[in-house]
Amino acid sequence: MERFRNKIAFVTGGSRGIGLAIAERFAAEGAKLAVVSNSMEELNQAERQFKAAGYVMLPLLADVSDADQIERAVARTVSQWGRIDILANNAGIAWEEDFLEMKDNNWRKMLDINLNGMFYTAQRVSRQMVQQGGGVIINMSSTNGIVGEAKYAHYNASKGGIVLLTKTMALELGGCGIRVNAVCPGYIQSPMSEAIDSPEFVEAYIRANIPLGRAGVPDEVAGVFAFLASDDAAFITGTTLVVDGGQLAF
Ligand SMILES: NC(=O)c1ccc[n+]([C@@H]2O[C@H](COP(=O)([O-])OP(=O)(O)OC[C@H]3O[C@@H](n4cnc5c(N)ncnc54)[C@H](O)[C@@H]3O)[C@@H](O)[C@H]2O)c1
């Protein structure tokens, strides 16, 4: 199946974890990739991996919380390929912190990367999509964007913001042929979740919270991004799709 043949996919945070799986899925179905990360080492590694699979990837070193860097990354992609068909707005960070002890700097850093970065990227790519007459945007939220989780006030606020950013973009951009949706994963095995949680915590968490009885894997989120980016989702915009093994069914 080559649903994205000749399409250009711009994937932020595509150098590892869920973003890497998303980029790989788009490339496996024919897309050319522009991959943004703030780690050159990870970008080089992803490029080697994709090259070996015969995929085309433009590595873009940029910090999503810096609007100028993102603007340059978008311009570089357009100068290389003339358009951007799909944006997977995925880059994000997370760590635990008690609300009462939370440092202002830490609050700002979380919002700068997870929410402001998502806005800068979405707006700059949307401007290009308006010019070219359409496109598809998928913003990475989380189940934490729908329900709260203790010790994640900053993360929850950023992910909740993404849900309403997504809906508002869908309202304003639908007339320009641009669909905008959000994906809300639950617990997914990735370098991010492995850095935060011990195996014992994960086991107990899964038992208590996830009806399917296991964590998700990055490719299960990538498949949902691919669906939303494809023509099978041609009448879907402004929605949030939960990928959580049933966690929010409680
Ligand atoms: N893992 C989970 O359980 C889970 C659940 C719900 C939502 N998410 C969301 O999915 C997304 C990806 O998460 P993951 O688990 O793959 O995380 P990860 O830490 O494994 O990967 C994050 C990626 O984002 C990039 N990145 C981080 N900060 C950046 C910055 N300032 N500028 C540019 N790139 C930056 C990293 O280089 C990396 O490629 C995040 O938005 C996260 O909040 C993850």
**Sequence spans of domains, the chain:** 8-189+218-243
pLDDT in tens, 14-45: 999 999 999 999 999 999 999 999 999 999 99
Mutational test site, ligand 1, from 22, 37, 57, 65, max ligand atoms within 8 Å of CB: 37
> Both ends of the chain: CA-CA distance in Å?
36
Q: How confident is the model at residue 203 (pLDDT cuts 50, 70, 90)?
A: very high
Q: Residue 175 C-alpha to ligand 1 middle, in angstroms?
A: 30
Q: In what order do the strands lie in the sheet with 8-12?
A: 57-61, 32-37, 8-12, 86-89, 135-140, 178-185, 240-243
* CB distance 38 to ligand 1 below 6 Å: yes
Q: Residue 195 C-alpha to ligand 1 middle, in angstroms?
A: 12
Q: How confident is the model at residue 199 (pLDDT cuts 50, 70, 90)?
A: very high
Q: Determine the Cα–Cα distance for residues 146 and 152; give it in Å rounded to an integer.
A: 13
* CB distance 23 to ligand 1 below 6 Å: no
* CB distance 190 to ligand 1 below 6 Å: yes
Active site (annotated) includes residue 205: no
Stretch 105-124: mean pLDDT: 98
* CB distance 13 to ligand 1 below 6 Å: yes
Hey, what CATH class is 8-189+218-243 in? Answer: alpha beta
pLDDT in tens, 140-196: 999 999 999 999 999 999 999 999 999 999 999 999 999 999 999 999 999 999 999
Q: Residue 92 C-alpha to ligand 1 middle, in angstroms?
A: 4
Stretch 47-51: mean pLDDT: 98
Which run of H or E residues covers position 47?
A: helix 40-52
Q: Residue 78 C-alpha to ligand 1 middle, in angstroms?
A: 24
The answer on pLDDT for 1 being more than 90 is no
Query: Residue 11: beta bridge partners?
Result: 35, 88
Give the active site residue among 55, 152, 155, 187: 155
* CB distance 59 to ligand 1 below 6 Å: no
